Chain A
Amino acid sequence: MAGQLGFHVQQDRCIGCFTCQIACKDKNDLEVGQLFRRVREIAGGGYTETGNNAFRADVYAYWISLSCNHCQDPPCVKNCPTGAMQKRPEDGIVFVDQNKCIGCRYCVWSCPYGAPQYNPQIGKVGKCDFCRDLLAKGEQPACVAACPMRVLDFGPLDELKKKYGGTNQIKGLPDPNTTKPSILITPHRDAALGK
């Protein structure tokens, strides 16, 4: 048993080029409006007047690339009425068996990361399955292989932890305690909590 698989995101290195998002879209042949991996910009801050017509800028912006986090306590799996959404015991990959899915979208209402994507053409839900077909061939997931900045990595979560450290909570992401996401992020300096 390889243990729970997860992703590592070297967020401070991400340049927002969207290559992972496009590689994923291509691999899974997704229609417009459905993304299994997304790159989002989170921005904030402003200008504060410091007197004498001087201003201090504390604007910030950073990118975050996220897919399904193959959570260790996944509400999507718990709530799915058909058992279509399931967690693979050997490596913790969460995937949808579309033969069983009835398109009720309860998983969409359950995931705090917006990962399950409803596909109106077939009336079923699809989502990141960690490219389990590629993994079986000994290859990397499409997003990891595509990233030109080596931001994304994957592997057993405990090994990633040893290699990178990282956190599963940065500014802009939901509370990790409810679902226990299998993700480690080395945060951008403005994304780290407590900054």
Chain B
Amino acid sequence: MGKEWALVLFTLLAQMSVGLMVVAQALNLKQREGLKPVLLWVGILMAASMVVSLGHLGSPLGAPRAIFNLKTSWLSREIFFSASFFVLWLVNYYLELRTQAGEGVKAISGWLAGFCGILALISMANIYVHTILPAWETAYTHLVFYTTALVLGAILYAVLAYRNRQEGQQGMLKITGILTVIGVALQLLSLPPYLASLSAGPVAAQETARLLLGAAPVLIFSQALAVLGGIVFTFLALRAYGEKGSLLTGQWLYGALALLVLAELASRYLFYATGVSITIGQF
């Protein structure tokens, strides 16, 4: 489908934002103090993603009209839930920072926002599943979108939480590490069946598989970075922490974040670049 940079960045930023929100809620069930430094980034990422998404539209000024067909269009639903996620995030952020509201109210508003974010991700995946492009219309799209949210959300949470609380982080590092590894592993494991099913599919699917294999260096690069960042670096960060080399822990975490962002960027680029229409020769 050519180089859809606006969509590459929009989907990644939105998934990172939702992932961060949900991981942050889940890891702060008992005490909400740890949330504050993290929440600001949820909003920044989501705001950036929505601005970038306008770059895809031929007539960006009409963007608000994109929610007029909630009844049948997953694209409408995606925009609706993304915007709602942002508004609910604002409410939650305000409650957490500026009011004396009870823990329960804060938690509910946080989870509501997270839930809306998840609905936005589900709608986002369904947009692609409901096209006629073999590269996109499989369950692989669902898997990749959700695991990207998990991986980027968990690693960014680890970085932000680590930066802001220096003591007693072992548990947090372990859990975020495990979440990242699960996400990376699922992505790696789903790639071979995806490639195999494309190669066995109709002409346009085979063309997608051929493009993917032609881009093998990018494909291998992205998977290698994911393994290095998501598995090796997170493990090293945890080990460094255990050995009281706190300084190193931070560096490994930053490294992991950088590698994982690059890895997801490369594979998302391929996702769009390999969208081949079944209408061969335009018919």
B 61-82 binary contact with A (CB < 8 Å = 1; else 0): 0110111110011111001000
- A-B pair count, CB < 8 Å, reads 108
Q: Is the CB of A124 within 8 A of B58?
A: yes
Judge if A112 is at the interface, Cβ distance under 8 Å: yes
A101/B62 contact (C-beta < 8 A), A82-B69, A106-B73, A112-B132 known:
yes
What are 5 of the A-B contact pairs (CB < 8 Å)?
A82-B65, A84-B65, A110-B132, A172-B283, A174-B279
Which of the listed residues B58, B65, B74, B130 has the most CB atoms from chain A within 10 Å of its own CB?
B58
Q: Taking beta carbons and an 8 Å cutoff, which residues of B are in contact with A?
A: 1, 56-60, 62-63, 65-69, 72-76, 79, 127, 130-133, 136, 275, 277-279, 281-283
The answer for the CA separation of A79 and B131 in the assembled complex, in Å, is 9
Spot the interface stretch: A1-9, A45-53, A114-122: A114-122
Smallest distance from the beta carbon of B6 to chain A beta carbons, Å?
A: 11
Smallest distance from the beta carbon of A79 to chain B beta carbons, Å?
A: 5
Q: Is the CB of B66 within 8 A of A111?
A: no
Q: Is the CB of A102 within 8 A of B63?
A: yes
Q: Which of A36-66 touch B at CB < 8 Å?
A: 38, 40, 64, 66
Judge if A180 is at the interface, Cβ distance under 8 Å: no
Give the residue of B65, B127, B283 whose beta carbon is less than 8 angstroms from that of A66. B283
Q: Which residues of A contact B66 (CB under 8 A)?
A: 81-82, 102, 104
Q: Which of A94-135 touch B at CB < 8 Å?
A: 100-106, 109-114, 118-120, 122-125
Q: Is the CB of A78 within 8 A of B73?
A: yes
Q: Residue of B at shortest CB range from A104? A: B57
A79/B75 contact (C-beta < 8 A), A102-B65, A109-B131, A113-B279 known:
yes
Smallest distance from the beta carbon of A99 to chain B beta carbons, Å?
A: 9
Smallest distance from the beta carbon of B129 to chain A beta carbons, Å?
A: 11
Q: Is the CB of B58 within 8 A of A103?
A: yes
Q: Is the CB of B132 within 8 A of A82?
A: no
Judge if A166 is at the interface, Cβ distance under 8 Å: no
Q: Taking beta carbons and an 8 Å cutoff, which residues of A are in contact with B?
A: 35, 38, 40, 64, 66, 75, 77-84, 100-106, 109-114, 118-120, 122-125, 172-174
Q: Which residues of B contact A83 (CB under 8 A)?
A: 65, 68-69
Q: Is the CB of A104 within 8 A of B67?
A: no
Q: Is the CB of A80 within 8 A of B69?
A: yes
Give the residue of B1, B62, B282, B283 whose beta carbon is less than 8 angstroms from that of A82. B62
A79/B74 contact (C-beta < 8 A), A102-B58, A102-B59, A114-B283 known:
yes
Given contacts A75-B130, A75-B132, 16 further A-B contacts (CB under 8 A): A38-B282, A79-B74, A80-B69, A80-B75, A81-B79, A82-B69, A102-B63, A103-B59, A104-B66, A110-B130, A111-B279, A113-B283, A120-B58, A123-B58, A124-B59, A174-B278
Q: Which residues of A contact B69 (CB under 8 A)?
A: 80-83
A102/B62 contact (C-beta < 8 A), A83-B68, A110-B130 known:
yes
The answer for the CA separation of A113 and B277 in the assembled complex, in Å, is 10
Q: Which residues of A contact B76 (CB under 8 A)?
A: 81-82
The answer for the CA separation of A125 and B58 in the assembled complex, in Å, is 9
Q: Is the CB of B283 within 8 A of A106?
A: no
Q: Which residues of A contact B67 (CB under 8 A)?
A: 81
The answer for the CA separation of A122 and B65 in the assembled complex, in Å, is 17
Q: Which residues of A contact B75 (CB under 8 A)?
A: 79-81, 104, 106
Q: Which residues of A contact B63 (CB under 8 A)?
A: 102
Give the residue of B58, B72, B133 whose beta carbon is less than 8 angstroms from that of A105. B58
The answer for the CA separation of A147 and B133 in the assembled complex, in Å, is 33
Q: Is the CB of A80 within 8 A of B132?
A: no
A101/B59 contact (C-beta < 8 A), A40-B283, A174-B279 known:
yes
A122/B58 contact (C-beta < 8 A), A40-B283, A81-B79, A104-B75 known:
yes
Q: Residue of B at shortest CB range from A123? A: B58
Q: Is the CB of B282 within 8 A of A40?
A: yes
Q: Which residues of A contact B131 (CB under 8 A)?
A: 79, 106, 109-110
Q: Is the CB of A82 within 8 A of B68?
A: yes
Smallest distance from the beta carbon of B137 to chain A beta carbons, Å?
A: 10
